[in-house]
Amino acid sequence: MAFQKERSAGFLANHMARLFANGLQQRIRPLGLAPAQFMALLALWDEDGLTQRELVQRLSVEQATMANTLIRMERDGLIERRSHPEDGRSQSIHLTAKAIALREPATQAARSQNEAALVDLSEDERLVFLDMMRRAIASMQSG
Amino acid sequence: MAFQKERSAGFLANHMARLFANGLQQRIRPLGLAPAQFMALLALWDEDGLTQRELVQRLSVEQATMANTLIRMERDGLIERRSHPEDGRSQSIHLTAKAIALREPATQAARSQNEAALVDLSEDERLVFLDMMRRAIASMQSG
DNA sequence: TATCATTGCATAGCATGCTATTCAACTGTT
DNA sequence: AACAGTTGAATAGCATGCTATGCAATGATA
């Protein structure tokens, strides 16, 4: 029996995630944001002054990935780093006024992209869909 | 109302796709394959001798992305290019014996990864899940 | 206290994916 | 045949993500 990519959850997940990322990128590019920067901002809008390690935990990416994203965010004037008073190894990451001001337009762009993706699903189906994704994530994380 | 990433389809899709890719990578690394190479092989196992343009259409990636993947596949001895008899611009992409031999173990690895991801979903739920992903993909492609 | 392990972060190197650009080969039209 | 437009592919440049290393600061322990 042949392996059919259209019946493969992994293939579909990859394709879907690329479309999400591309769509979000189109919408937030005018704001001067890239998708991974937006993800980091989500965590920082919720709680400013996190350390790199805490961002890594909240976004489930590798430390090296976050380090590079933070370099680009600092370059783009979205964050500044302050030395941590209690631990000379770590820094706390703080939003600039520019980044704070982007909260509403950026989250609105993300909501708009989610809506575009789920437009064909009913309200009930959307809840089921999100739940199934969470369950797949949990299975892959534990396994 | 705050934007909550755990309720965002895009955020979950990104996370899920990364876990799929990482899991597949672990499983096919011993075969000397990378995830994007596996995706290209899926199309070529099904139909050998495709052109780069045809691969682009089947896998829904940009031409430049496929060009780079093919460079790595040629480097790794998975494909060879033959000049197209009817069009001097294009080449047909052919599998090597090495790539042909990888079909069974590689597709088995992918099936295994899909199973690990969906282990918590019933057979009916899996069908619903795949269908919802296809619908989200269709919505984002058309919109 | 001297040593060893752990932890937080930076860096190198690579794969994947994108946009933009370039170039050569093909097509169609005049 | 000559020109313009189209198409197939390569390349440059960048973002995101990963693994593997290295290093300095911290902690724990003999």
* pLDDT, tens digit, 9 for 90 and up, residues B95-119: 999 999 999 999 999 999 999 999 9
Is the Cβ of B60 closer than 8 Å to some Cβ of chain A?
A: yes
Q: Is residue B112 part of a domain?
A: yes
Total structural domains within chain A: 1
Whether residue A1 is contained in a domain is answered as: no
**How far apart (Å, rounded) are the C-alpha atoms in residues B100 and A111?**
44
> Per the domain annotation, does B5 fall within a domain?
no
Look at residue B91 and tell me if it is in a domain: yes
Give the CATH number for residue A44: 1.10.10.10
Residue B4 is assigned to a structural domain of this protein? no
> Is A89 domain-assigned?
yes
pLDDT tens per residue across span B69-84: 999 999 999 999 999 8
Contact between chains at A137 and B12 (C-beta distance less than 8 A): yes
* pLDDT 10s digits, A79-115: 999 998 889 899 999 999 999 999 999 999 999 999 9
Q: How far is the CA of B67 from the C1' of D10 (A)?
A: 8
Decide if pLDDT at B85 tops 90: no
Q: Is B126 on the interface with A (CB under 8 A)?
A: yes
- What range defines the domain where residue A101 resides? 30-105
Instruction: Name the residue with tokens 């762009």.
Output: A109
Q: Answer yes or no: is A130 within a domain.
A: no
pLDDT of residue A11: 98
* B8 contacts A110? CB cut-off 8 A: yes
- In a domain, residue A131? The reply is no
